[in-house]
Amino acid sequence: MIFSSTLFLFIFLPLTLLIYYAIPKKYVMAKNIELLIASLIFYAWGEPKNVLLMLLSIAVNYLFGRLLEKYDENKTIRKIVLIISVVFNLGMLFYFKYLGFFTGGRISIILPIGISFFTFQIMSYTIDVYLRNVKAQRDPFKLALYISLFPQLIAGPIVRYIDIEKELACRTYDIDKIFKGVTRFSVGLAKKVVISNTVGLLADNIFKLDPTLMSSATGWLGAIAYTLQIYFDFSGYSDMAIGLGHMMGFNFIENFNYPYISKSVQEFWRRWHISLSSWFRDYLYIPLGGNRKGKVRTYINLLIVFACTGFWHGAAWNFLVWGLFHGFFLVIERIGFKKVLDKIPSFIGHIYTMLIAILGWVLFRAETMGKAWQYICTMFRFSDWGWSKAVAQLDGYTLVILALGVVCSFPIVPTLREKLRKYNWGETAVSVIGGVSMITLLLLSIFCLTGSDYNPFIYFRF
């Protein structure tokens, strides 16, 4: 089940919220059980047996947490328990996601949806218990809810246990927070259904073409369309997750902060998939030594982290190369190029960053490295620009949505909201405008959903 489906919007979500709000606020345990049952149904809907895998992961890691607590004074046993937990979690991820890759495709295993997300979440729990950042959770239902909570289960953000530990035991919500959540969900749904799906269809049509036969302009159009698709798809899901969390009293971290306004690759990764970047920073980069062991070691650590970042996204060489591609430019900026970027006009830094991002997304989107290389070569084969061939891929509606996607990649709405407050429109007026906008976005999204059967979910592989 996905958020942008009629089943979720018209049946699952209304029923879940109706029962949730009907339970008095003081009965947190009852609310937790209701959400846990709903989350397990949500995850089991497409493939029921996958829920057994997640329950196994929850049970085993619950045991790891209790063992770390029990042997709090024994460093040796605690370290052994931590190692076993990491091996178990990464081993499970390896089996389902990477075994086929390392056996050359001779073994084919169906990938459980969202396994990368909930595996990293449960690992953050056991590692933080080991580091004594949090206490082990003694209530298995609370730990199960943390892992399976449906708003962020299949597409993030990667929520750490330490961030919602208190909310699992006590959380509050009121009409203002619910309204804020519904608004945020509506924005995310519109991002996904109105913008991402539209430009995604354009990207799919172009990437299906033989790159050696298409024009340069067509190649650029497809790459830009996919650049917009993946941003509005993923940030849209994150917005919906954060909005759903608000409706239920949870506060999830922000996952995107307008990454396409970045003026360096460093800044891009401070704004893109923030929860994953911070996870690798805290649980891999810093333990490797971070930037504390000299420049060369820092560069090596960055490349290791981004190789893992790329491979986390998928078991294919193009994902690994995509990660190393970004890691290379991060190292270049660390060496001294960032100082150059700080001195030149900001629009040049923005062009440079977007060029890296767009070329990177071609590596990410192409089925193989060979096709990615052919596609990139076509983009820079300016002898055959072929603008008319690119225009032939567009219709009026797609062109409008493409332009809308470019505009909405910039912080227009937050800027407008601040200007309204600055000119003393008042919170009531801003709220009324927000409410009207929310209803409009919901109706437009529902119209787009019912009028098309194209509704891909990019992050199902992760």
Task: Encode pLDDT of 305-314 as tens digits.
Answer: 999 999 999 8
Please tell me whether residues 30 and 127 are part of one structural domain: yes
**Structural domain contains residue 1:** no
Please tell me whether residues 157 and 256 are part of one structural domain: no
pLDDT band at 76 (very low <50, low <70, confident <90, very high): very high
Please tell me whether residues 122 and 185 are part of one structural domain: no
Q: Could you tell me which of 264, 238, 421, 434 has the C-alpha nearest to residue 342? A: 264
Q: What angle do CA 34, 35, 41 make, to 5 degrees?
A: 95
- Annotated catalytic residues are 313
Query: What average pLDDT score do residues 404-425 get?
Result: 82
pLDDT band at 190 (very low <50, low <70, confident <90, very high): very high
Please tell me whether residues 214 and 252 are part of one structural domain: yes
For 209, the domain range is 177-450
Residue 429 has pLDDT above 70, yes or no: no
Comparing 59-73, 77-91, 170-184, 259-273, the range with the smallest average pLDDT is 170-184
Please tell me whether residues 195 and 52 are part of one structural domain: no
Beta strand segments in 308-389, E: none
**Structural domain contains residue 411:** yes
- pTM of the full predicted structure? 0.93
**Structural domain contains residue 297:** yes
Please tell me whether residues 148 and 245 are part of one structural domain: no
Domain edge (last residue) among 132, 151, 171: 171
* Residues sharing a CB contact under 8 Å with residue 421, sequence separation 6 or more, in sequence order: 427, 430
Domain edge (last residue) among 156, 171, 186: 171
Q: Cα–Cα distance between 238 and 80 in angstroms, integer?
A: 35
**Structural domain contains residue 456:** no
pLDDT of residue 131: 95
**Structural domain contains residue 455:** no
pLDDT in tens, 243-279: 999 999 999 999 999 999 999 999 999 999 999 999 9
Please tell me whether residues 98 and 216 are part of one structural domain: no
Pair 148, 44: CB distance under 8 Å = no
Q: State how far the alpha carbon of 100 is from the alpha carbons of 95, 104, 294, 405, in Å.
A: 8, 6, 38, 36
Q: Cα–Cα distance between 68 and 128 in angstroms, integer?
A: 10
Q: How many domains does the chain have?
A: 2
What b/e string do you get for 52-75 counting C-beta neighbours within 10 Å, with b at 16 or more?
ebbbebbebbbebbbbbeeeeeee
pLDDT of residue 430: 62
**Structural domain contains residue 460:** no
Domain edge (last residue) among 171, 188, 206: 171
Q: What angle do CA 397, 403, 407 make, to 5 degrees?
A: 140
Is 174 exposed, middle or buried, given 0-12, 13-18 or 19+ CB atoms closer than 10 A? exposed
Pair 58, 123: CB distance under 8 Å = no
Higher pLDDT, 89 or 447: 89
pLDDT of residue 383: 82
Mean pLDDT estimate for the chain: 91
**Structural domain contains residue 458:** no
Please tell me whether residues 191 and 262 are part of one structural domain: yes
Q: Cα–Cα distance between 81 and 250 in angstroms, integer?
A: 30
Query: What average pLDDT score do residues 25-39 get?
Result: 94
Q: Could you tell me which of 107, 84, 86, 83 has the C-alpha nearest to residue 96? A: 107
Please tell me whether residues 213 and 119 are part of one structural domain: no
Please tell me whether residues 142 and 183 are part of one structural domain: no
pLDDT of residue 419: 76
Query: What average pLDDT score do residues 105-115 get?
Result: 84
Higher pLDDT, 197 or 447: 197
Pair 390, 215: CB distance under 8 Å = yes
Q: Cα–Cα distance between 365 and 129 in angstroms, integer?
A: 37
Please tell me whether residues 133 and 162 are part of one structural domain: yes
Query: What average pLDDT score do residues 369-374 get?
Result: 94
Please tell me whether residues 372 and 422 are part of one structural domain: yes
Q: Cα–Cα distance between 302 and 418 in angstroms, integer?
A: 37
**Structural domain contains residue 37:** yes
Query: What average pLDDT score do residues 113-132 get?
Result: 93
